[in-house]
Structure 1
Amino acid sequence: MVRLIVFTDLDGTLLDHSDYSHEAAMPALMALKTQNIPLILASSKTAAEIMPLHAELGLGDWPVIVENGAQSVRPGAGSTDRSEYDRLRAILAGLPPDLAGPYRGFGDMTDAEVAQITGLSSEAAALARQRNFTEPGLWQGTDEGLTAFLDALSENGVTARRGGRFLTLSFGGTKAGQMAAIMHDLDRDTAIALGDAPNDIEMIETADHGVIIRNDHGKDIPPLPGEAEGRITRSTLPGPQGWIAEVLRLLDTLGIDRRAD
């Protein structure tokens, strides 16, 4: 019997893109729970944003991969430790003003500004600004200035990743990198990973069974080498409808009983 673990992205994957509901995925969520299969939420969201959902899903002490893989945290642990974020902000503050001036991070913004830029409610924006490990922001300078800015950050051990609109700074870490550590800690040998966007590619490719959830609302994932091998599949349905279909299919493929003992 495989020792299975499931890693999942949230928005557009486990959660419906329009109303952020997970109701459509409940049968598969219950199947995982009855077999005590860890479900690990992996998102670009902060711990403050994810933990209420984690509790709502009844995921107990399972860890969560936060801030796009910068770290994994357990409920009640690490949510108030901002030392890494403070160190990141200190490096930014130490750069010459003409170099860092065109970059405006969440730490430079108010809740209202983040809400306006992201479309989040003011309450949700406040949670998004409770960062522990990474700093998303907007670059408003030239391409040449951006190159110099990134070079200076690199000299201080800071990496940058471009998302849809944000340039996110961190000290490294990816969803895929966190997967290996969590699997070791939980003594799991087989992983399913599900996601719908390019920032999920590393996680999907790392898993034994990767699933690309159909994305009708954003940038899709291009063809991946694992698809030709059959190790990576695509859902025909979007969001949580595709999530439930693929999770239940893989449970059947792996010979795992969906029913409670």
Structure 2
Amino acid sequence: MKSNIHLMVFTDLDGTLIDHDTYRWDAAQEALSALGSAAAGVVLASSKTAAEVGALRAELGLQQWPAIVENGAGVLPPHVCDTPDNAPYIALRRALDKAPEALRHLFRGFGDATTAEVAEMTGLPLRDARLAKQRAFSEPGQWSGTDTQKAEFLIYLQNNDVTAQQGGRFLTLSFGGNKADQMRKIIAAYQPQHTIALGDAPNDVQMLKTAEFGVVIANPHRPPLPPLKGEATGHIIRTKAAGPSGWNAAILDLLKRLEPR
């Protein structure tokens, strides 16, 4: 159902709306309240699972909006709390397990690890690691082989319709789809007049470029994103403050610019 809303915001979580160190979002409360008052849509877009994002979406009071999960491999519909059908994940694990053994044992996915081991791999507390293992669309994992072996592994995956996205810590496998792909589908469904996307990492770049306004959130914990096309024209801006503080300032500034005349 098309709602033709004035504004829709697409936001990454860790290091963007959520503080890298404290995992808190309080510093963005003023902007979140302003978005609520403006009846703007806020779509969370993360590498987290539906179980993880669903809990945070409820905490933020954003259940009426869809959320992009597992790095764009899937979407959590509005008002849905349960983990989506995990048939894609089962098929993905089946394809992974058919890889040549010489390559397969070099990739250790979340499905190969216990909850405690995922907690160790990610730095998450046990409760959150349990949610991170409730996957429906994709499989993050650590690669322990050589670059040559990795190239062979990627060719095997490609031949079996599996895509791989290299993040800062994990190689994530899926049957395709990224944050920007899902963003375009949501925009087509809701037809907002204006769009804003915010992120801090390489896997957010296409999402930032797709929006009317892209916001690169400063993150002192990772190398800054290279200059992006659109910065010279103001289509893409960068924050000085990191995490939710930068998020808050950018949203409040853009809301003033986009105020209906």
Q: Is the TM value for this pair above 0.5? A: yes
Structure 1 runs, 4 residues or longer, greater than 4 Å off: none
Aligned to 2:37: 34
Whole-angstrom CA distance in 2 between matches of 1:14 and 1:140 = 31
Q: Which moved more, 1:14-23 or 1:128-137?
A: 14-23
Whole-angstrom CA distance in 2 between matches of 1:199 and 1:219 = 13
Partner amino acid for 2:69?
V
Residue number among 212, 223, 227 corresponding to 1:208 in the alignment: 212
- Describe how 1:143-162 pairs up with structure 2 within 5 A: 143-162=147-166
Partner amino acid for 1:25?
A
Partner amino acid for 2:238?
R
Q: Which moved more, 1:186-195 or 1:203-212?
A: 186-195
Whole-angstrom CA distance in 2 between matches of 1:235 and 1:53 = 24
Aligned to 1:235: 239
Whole-angstrom CA distance in 1 between matches of 2:242 and 2:105 = 40
Aligned to 1:120: 124
Aligned to 1:51: 54
Q: What SS does structure 2 have at the residue aligned with 1:193?
A: strand
Whole-angstrom CA distance in 2 between matches of 1:164 and 1:23 = 25
- Describe how 1:59-208 pairs up with structure 2 within 5 A: 59-74=62-77, 75-76=79-80, 79-208=83-212
Q: Displacement, 1:77?
A: 6.4
Aligned length: 257
Q: Displacement, 1:96?
A: 2.4
Alignment deviations for residues 190-232 of structure 1 (CA, whole Å, 9 cap, x no partner): 2100111111111111110011111111232111011012111
TM-score by length of 1: 0.94
Alignment deviations for residues 86-114 of structure 1 (CA, whole Å, 9 cap, x no partner): 00000011222123121111100011111
Question: Relative to structure 1, is the Cα distance of residues 94 and 12 closer, same or farther in structure 2, using a 3 angstrom cutoff?
Answer: same
Partner amino acid for 1:50?
V
Unmatched 5+ stretches in structure 2: none
What's the RMSD between the two structures over aligned residues?
A: 1.6
Q: Displacement, 1:2?
A: 7.5
Residues 1:21 and 2:24 aligned together: yes
Partner amino acid for 1:161?
Q
Q: Displacement, 1:154?
A: 0.6
Q: Displacement, 1:78?
A: 6.4
**Partners of 1:198 and 1:219 within 8 A in 2:** no
Q: Displacement, 1:162?
A: 0.9
TM-score by length of 2: 0.94
Q: What SS does structure 2 have at the residue aligned with 1:15?
A: coil
- The percentage of aligned residue pairs carrying the same residue is 52
**Partners of 1:17 and 1:239 within 8 A in 2:** yes
Q: What SS does structure 1 have at the residue aligned with 2:231?
A: helix
Unmatched 5+ stretches in structure 1: none
Whole-angstrom CA distance in 1 between matches of 2:232 and 2:12 = 23
**Partners of 1:198 and 1:220 within 8 A in 2:** no
